[in-house]
Chains A and B, each alone.
Chain A
Amino acid sequence: MKKIWKGLLVTALTASMLAGCGNAGSQPGNAEGEGGAPGAAKSVKLKMFIAQPRLKEHYDKYIADFVAKEKAEKNIDVSVQLEMPTADNAAQILKTRLASNDAPDIFALHAINEIPSYYKAGYLEDLSDQPFVGKLLDSVKPSVTTTDGKVVAVPLETLSWGYLYNKTIFADLGMTPPTTITEMKAVIEKLKANHITPFVLSYKEAWIPQLVLPLAAGALINTENADFIERMNKDEGSFTEMKAMFDIFDLINANGTEKATEVGGDDGAAAFAAGKGAMWLQGPWYAETILKSNPEMDFGVAPLPINDNPEATLINLSASTSLAVSKSSGNKEVALDFINYVLDDQASGGFFQALKFNPISTVHTYDSYPWVNDATVFVKEGKSYQDPAIPQSVKDEVGKGLQAYYAGQMSQDDVLQALDKAWKSFNKVNK
């Protein structure tokens, strides 16, 4: 008897509390407007997730255009809920959303780092048959294509990078970007003779020292070690083969600014813009920050030499932010319409130009920025490669390892061992 009463009481209280929750919670109305009344305009609520709050106004505008187009052509009332966390938290929130069955209809992810695992986990819709695929440039397509040949995202942001250099300083001293590490040493000596610090160092955030790995590994893979990635994936390779990356890393560190582990990317951009160093291990994605700090700044992108083989001095080509459609989306038709609208024949050019992204499609005919053109020269000469498919967890490890190496806490061999271990555990988890 006692127990039954107890049970009833708890149930009643629970029910009343939960009813309270329900009322309060139903306000934003996740359930509304899935179907819509027959005859009237269909209404669809589309959830999007793009972690680039700095570009919010451009996305808002483009989405508004899309909503108008959808209404005019298909009589669908689309309302878009755009979630824009900062890049720092994006992966965490997106994973939490997916894991709690709350996938946004369209979400942005990193082409090289994230597409493979999200695809494998079954979250990405196959987009191979969509019209936009035919409009992608050949140099861009591989980065959004899975290993089994399916296109699963539309790339937004693409990068062609190596390191950044101060064109004014180089021109004043009559120098051109070096093509071998020996030439690089000569450049460094000349800069030092003129009392200019050769490199800005900014290693506070682990992803910045990490950049040296894709550059060094990419160069070696494209010259002397073609099957490195495949062998690593089979637990057969070792990072000792990549030890050469320390040659250039040491050279940069020995000739850089002070207190690198205190300097974040934005501080680095300010230092580079102020001419405190002639070169910076960084990509052109910092262009806006640099120009904001010094609008007169004239800088270029050049491939980083890692040894004395000029053939190994190459530009890294990759895609980062890309838009994918959730496999579990209830509004696939509209979501696919939007994905195709991203490469719309008329609207797309203006959109990409406003975002300051590089052209990725045949429909993009706008003029790109000088630093993009710099890199394009190398790409056209065939001096480029696709960003090697190094797992994100290994990239994270290399960033931390190189920070510790810079701070004198780890030796070269420690770092290489840690990387081998990280790749092995990646293989174990992703069998």
Chain B
Amino acid sequence: MPVKSYKKYVSLFGFVAPAFVLYAVFLLIPTIGGMYYSFTDWNGLNRSYEFIGFGNFAEALSEDPDFIGSLWFTLKYVLFMIVLQNVFALALAVFIESRRRSKGFFRTVFFMPNMISTIISAFMWTFVFAQVLPQLAEKTAIAFLDQAWIGDPNVSFYSILIVSLWNGVGYMMIIYLAGLQGVPQSLKEAALIDGATPLQTFRNVTLPMITHAITICFFLTLNGAFKVFEVVYGLTGGGPGRSTQVITMNIYEEAFSNNFRYGYASAKSVILFVIILIFTFIQIRVMKKREVEA
């Protein structure tokens, strides 16, 4: 037994080491480094700093209304994104899957926004919201288009969603398409022959077969939405005031544009990390149970 398990370890390390070493050097160790700073009062500029235990964490959670505000705003955003992004992506994937000749065309068109860098698409949409839509409203007299799309905090939440969805749905759609292609045509046909409606077939045959894709997409959306930065940064800059500030922007502001309290900012990002960890853990737990191992 010892010989066998020793061999097992050698082979495990042979396969895993290349990835693990690079991962450790560029991700794991820096992450631990960041966590280490979260217990200090380092301001990112001074050479000396002190350990202050959980002081940063206590301050972030009890004395920092801006941080808490950004936390709630982010949660709201995450919720909307999880629902909308997956509904749109799955619907598109199902619809596109049912096309024959136009399949490739639609797939490309909906995936295209994903090929543009987020930061540049945010700037592009700023241009659309601030210049093009008001001009369109003027010319076409569709009053609805003439909103303060990015200047009014009530409207700009939805503008941020629009851009995020525009940018992100294609990515999820590709994963769903791959999942749908894994569903054997014979199963669907069998269900239809048995007299199931297309909707029933979808619910009872297709959905269970693509739960793995759903798990992945939920995971990616959840994780991406919690870490959203560039879209908000490019579109509203978190403003007006801090009304559209997400957590990552709050952290960024703390680390680079305020008092450069890097230790404090690190503590906030540890909090963010823990929140994402908890949410993901729950999500994976719940969904893995439903997943059918193929």
Contacts and interface: CB of A to CB of B under 8 A. Distances in A.
Contact of A396 (B13, B18, B45, B253): B253
Given A13-B21, A121-B45, A425 B130 contact: no
Given A10-B13, A262-B129, A407-B240, A2 B6 contact: yes
B262 interface: yes
B47 interface: yes
A120 B262 CA distance: 16
Interface string B182-205: 000000000000000000000000
A409 B151 contact: no
Contact of B22 (A9, A17, A401, A410): A17
B17 A9 contact: yes
Contacts of B18: 13, 17
A209 B130 CA distance: 19
Please tell me the size bucket of the interface on B. Answer: 35 or more
Interface in A378-431: 391-393, 396, 400-401, 403-407, 409-410, 425-426, 429-430
A37 interface: no
Contact of B258 (A98, A263, A393, A404): A393
A360 B245 CA distance: 40
Given A95-B44, A99-B44, A409-B153, A393 B148 contact: no
Contact of B241 (A118, A392, A401): A401
Interface string B210-253: 00000000000000000000000000011111110000000001
Contacts of B44: 95, 99
B257 A410 contact: no
Nearest to A88: B233
A95 B47 contact: no
B256 interface: yes
Interface string A14-29: 1001100000000000
A139 interface: no
Contacts of B140: none
A27 B4 CA distance: 44
Interface in A231-285: 259-264, 267
Given A5-B10, A206-B237, A407-B243, A426 B259 contact: yes
Nearest to B22: A17
B73 interface: no
A83 interface: no
A393 B45 CA distance: 15
A32 to B, nearest CB: 25
Nearest to A401: B241
A391 B257 CA distance: 11
Contacts of A117: 45, 260
A96 B152 CA distance: 34
B43 interface: yes
Contacts of A121: 43, 45-47
Nearest to B43: A429
B237 A204 contact: yes
Interface string A107-143: 0000000000110111100000000000000000000
B149 interface: yes
B21 A17 contact: yes
Contacts of B257: 91, 392-393, 396
Nearest to A118: B45
A99 B241 CA distance: 29
Contact of A403 (B10, B130, B241): B241
A407 B241 contact: yes
A228 interface: no
B37 to A, nearest CB: 10
Please tell me the size bucket of the interface on A. Answer: 35 or more
Nearest to A120: B46
B4 to A, nearest CB: 12
A203 interface: yes
B261 A122 contact: no
B150 interface: yes
A195 interface: no
B273 interface: no
Given A117-B260, A407-B243, A98 B9 contact: no
Contacts of B259: 391, 393, 425-426, 429-430
Nearest to A92: B256
Contacts of B149: 262
Interface in A163-219: 203-206
A151 to B, nearest CB: 21
Contacts of A92: 256
Nearest to B257: A396
Contacts of B46: 120-122
A122 B148 contact: no
Interface string B1-13: 0100010011001
Contacts of B260: 95, 117
Contacts of B239: 204, 206, 261, 400, 403-404
Interface string B145-165: 000111111000000000000
A65 to B, nearest CB: 33
A2 B21 contact: no
A95 B243 contact: no
A400 B241 contact: yes
A396 B240 contact: no
B13 A406 contact: no
A410 to B, nearest CB: 6
B6 A407 contact: no
A5 B152 CA distance: 63
A262 B150 contact: yes
Contact of B262 (A99, A259, A391, A393): A99
Interface of A: 2, 5-6, 9-10, 13-14, 17-18, 91-92, 95, 98-99, 117-118, 120-123, 203-206, 259-264, 267, 391-393, 396, 400-401, 403-407, 409-410, 425-426, 429-430
3 smallest A-B Cβ distances: which pairs?
A: A404-B241, A261-B151, A403-B240
27 contacts: A2-B9, A6-B13, A9-B13, A10-B17, A10-B21, A13-B13, A13-B17, A14-B21, A18-B25, A91-B256, A117-B45, A204-B130, A259-B148, A259-B151, A262-B130, A262-B148, A392-B257, A392-B258, A400-B242, A403-B240, A403-B241, A404-B239, A409-B153, A409-B240, A409-B243, A410-B241, A429-B259
Given A262-B151, A267-B130, A403-B239, 15 more contacts: A2-B9, A10-B13, A13-B13, A18-B21, A18-B25, A122-B46, A122-B47, A206-B237, A259-B148, A260-B151, A393-B258, A396-B253, A407-B243, A429-B259, A430-B259
